[in-house]
Amino acid sequence: MQIRRASRSAARLRAALFGPAGSGKTYTALLIATHLNRQRGSQLPPLVIDTERGSSEKYANLQHPELGLLEFDVLPLNPPYAPARYVEALRLAAQSGYQVVVVDSLSHAWIGQGGALEMADAATARTKNSFAAWREVTPEHQKLVDAMISAPFDLIATMRSKTEYIVEQDERGRAVPRKVGLAPVQRDGMEYEFDLVADMDNAKLAVSKSRFFGLAGFAAHKPGLDFVRQLWAEMSGDGAQSQQTQAAKVETQPAEQSVPNASPDQQAQKATLAEMSAADYPPTDAPAQYIAEFCRLMAEQNGNQSPPREWWSALKVRFGWSPSKGMSLRDAYLSLAQKITAEEQHVANAG
């Protein structure tokens, strides 16, 4: 047991990309893995644990305009897709000295042949008790979660998403179906285990959860090396320099921008939130009251800045809230802030 000073560069990435088939998950994961691996100075290429019947190898030795050849090792993982076999593969990767690992795809551990759902069905048939069955399966699945979290390498996992079709108009005005992704195919709440979670749909990436301030609410079509470099900057601590610059700007704001009848601490918080409103929205897993205060600030600015769709949707799910029909954006911000505050007060009273 040893105490040390916290360092961003000492932390390892846990990222998840989810989306329907053909959305660009594997390719984007390989771009991230290749850049991170070079920044880590690894003597080995990235490793792909492949449950998708070799689909990742279609990108082997692909020439990227900036990264050059996409070179990686592959560990095929065939059925049964029991969580314990994923744990075994992760352990082998660690023992072999890999610095960056892609799991493509994590969904098979849940819904694949021999995965957690089939294990639960088999246990239910044996015990005639589904609750007893899940008491057997849940610890096995949790071992996989623990193995990912504690792995001594950067890990990027892809997950399939539940899909449905919507009808849109094309450039000629014709109604055409389009496949869209919904929730990731894994146990509910799996996304909370990751530092960065991004939804991919038709080569569009939208960050729905981020512990990296600079990537909160990030969205891009065909994300490239700019996104990957920004991710590394946030991981290594270089991204903190821009935050320090923002903080310096807050400290030098004119006095007339302070909050009337507010304490110095309240004024500083208000100034920080004002600076954020012009740049990035707070992470969707930020403290509830912080998000509530941010929403109040946006309402005070007449609600004239529309939030990123993914950020708004994530908060609806987190707080069980949705705006009333016809509600203005300003009133929606206030409504969400009031909802959060009421729930926090209820919890405090119950405690």
Q: In this predicted model, what pLDDT tens digit does every residue of 98-133 receive, in sequence order? A: 999 999 999 999 999 999 999 999 999 999 998 889
Nearest 5°: the CA angle 162, 167, 323 is: 70
Q: Assess whether 221 and 253 both reside in one domain.
A: no
Place of tokens 């203005």: 328
- 1 within domain boundaries: no
Mean residue pLDDT of the chain comes to 81
pLDDT above 70: residue 245: no
Q: What are phi and psi of 39, to 5 degrees?
A: -65, -30
pLDDT above 50: residue 271: no
Q: Assess whether 13 and 156 both reside in one domain.
A: yes
Q: Assess whether 92 and 201 both reside in one domain.
A: yes
Q: Assess whether 232 and 252 both reside in one domain.
A: no
- 200 within domain boundaries: yes
User: Is the distance from CB of 124 to CB of 133 less than 8 angstroms?
Assistant: yes
- 2 within domain boundaries: no
Percent of the chain clearing pLDDT 70 (strictly above): 78
326 CB-contact burial (10 Å; exposed 0-12 / middle 13-18 / buried 19+) = exposed
More confident residue, 195 or 202: 195
CA distance 178 to 327: 29
Domain boundary among 214, 236, 258: 236
| Cα pseudo-dihedral 164, 182, 310, 59, rounded to 10 | -100
What pLDDT band is residue 266 in, cutting at 50, 70 and 90? very low
- 41 within domain boundaries: yes
User: What pLDDT is stored for residue 346 in this prediction?
Assistant: 66
Q: Assess whether 224 and 272 both reside in one domain.
A: no
Q: Assess whether 167 and 264 both reside in one domain.
A: no
Range of the domain at 315: 240-350
Q: Assess whether 225 and 260 both reside in one domain.
A: no
User: What pLDDT is stored for residue 260 in this prediction?
Assistant: 40
Strand partners, 76: 50
CATH number at residue 46: 3.40.50
Q: Assess whether 276 and 221 both reside in one domain.
A: no
Q: Assess whether 222 and 255 both reside in one domain.
A: no
User: What pLDDT is stored for residue 87 in this prediction?
Assistant: 98
With H, G, I as helix, E, B as strand and everything else as coil, classify residue 79.
coil
Domain boundary among 194, 215, 236: 236
Distances 80 to 110, 132, 162, 202, 280 between C-alpha atoms, Å: 11, 22, 22, 30, 43
Q: Assess whether 135 and 261 both reside in one domain.
A: no
Q: What is the mean pLDDT of residues 196-211?
A: 90
Q: What is the mean pLDDT of residues 280-302?
A: 72
Q: Assess whether 156 and 270 both reside in one domain.
A: no
pLDDT above 60: residue 67: yes
Least Cα distance to 312 among 281, 342, 287 occurs for: 281
Rank 150-159, 172-181, 240-249, 303-312 by mean pLDDT and report only the highest.
150-159
- 288 within domain boundaries: yes
User: What pLDDT is stored for residue 138 in this prediction?
Assistant: 93
pLDDT above 90: residue 332: no
What pLDDT band is residue 348 in, cutting at 50, 70 and 90? low
Lowest mean pLDDT among 197-206, 280-289, 333-342: 280-289
User: What pLDDT is stored for residue 349 in this prediction?
Assistant: 62
pTM assigned to the model: 0.65
User: What pLDDT is stored for residue 180 in this prediction?
Assistant: 57
Domain boundary among 236, 270, 297: 236
Q: What would the pLDDT profile of 73-92 be if each residue is shown by its tens digit?
A: 999 999 999 999 999 999 99
User: Is the distance from CB of 200 to CB of 15 less than 8 angstroms?
Assistant: no
Q: Residues in the chain, how many?
A: 351
Least Cα distance to 85 among 54, 127, 113, 46 occurs for: 113
What pLDDT band is residue 166 in, cutting at 50, 70 and 90? low
Q: Assess whether 176 and 229 both reside in one domain.
A: yes
- 3 within domain boundaries: no
- 4 within domain boundaries: no
User: What pLDDT is stored for residue 76 in this prediction?
Assistant: 97
Number of domains in the chain: 2
What pLDDT band is residue 145 in, cutting at 50, 70 and 90? very high
User: Is the distance from CB of 50 to CB of 74 less than 8 angstroms?
Assistant: yes
- 261 within domain boundaries: yes
Q: What is the mean pLDDT of residues 224-236?
A: 91
